[in-house]
Amino acid sequence: MFVRLFTWWNSTTIGSSFTLWRRRARLVGEDEQGNRYYEEKDPSLPGSEGKHPRRWVVYHGIAEASRVTPDWHGWLHHTFDQPPSEAPLTRRAFEKDHLPNMTGTPLAYHPPGSLARAGGPADVDDDYEAWTPEKA
């Protein structure tokens, strides 16, 4: 209970759960990573009659926005009316699978020769010559 009260990175907090309950949000779907998506029944903001209801994502694990897949992102931002759980987007042959942003993690990309590369820097081509200024 203590962890859920104060740690937002472990899913939803008591405050978020209360907001979802108070706005009568319904669970719309879940993605491959376990993130859950909610939508309120009726628009609750003042002057929002006839407009779009609010939508939320509750992250499973670390709250990182790049973990939301493109189809769910489109639904969250009202680009698509139906959630991907009801009307999934068609995948084209050239599309790659969604990957979250790995910057700052051990899985981040490091080019050959980088000191941060796993196992140390790799040998780089010997055709590189460092620039040195000419002496006048």
Q: In what order do the strands lie in the sheet with 55-58?
A: 25-30, 36-40, 55-58
Find the radius of gyration of the CA atoms of the chain.
23
Q: Which residue range(s) make up the domain with 56?
A: 9-76
Q: Is residue 124 part of a domain?
A: no
CB 91 within 8 A of CB 71: no
Helices (H) and strands (E) in the chain, counts: 3, 3
d(CA 4, CA 24): 21
Q: Given this model, what pLDDT does residue 114 score?
A: 78
Q: Is residue 3 part of a domain?
A: no
Q: Is residue 14 part of a domain?
A: yes
Q: Is residue 2 part of a domain?
A: no
Question: What pTM was estimated for this model as a whole?
Answer: 0.65
Q: Given this model, what pLDDT does residue 4 score?
A: 57
Q: Is residue 61 part of a domain?
A: yes
Q: Is residue 45 part of a domain?
A: yes
Q: Is residue 92 part of a domain?
A: no
pLDDT in tens, 24-83: 888 899 998 889 999 888 766 666 566 778 888 888 877 788 889 889 999 999 998 899
Percent with pLDDT over 90 in the chain: 15
> What is the total count of domains within the chain?
1
Phi, psi of 72 (to 5 degrees): -70, -35
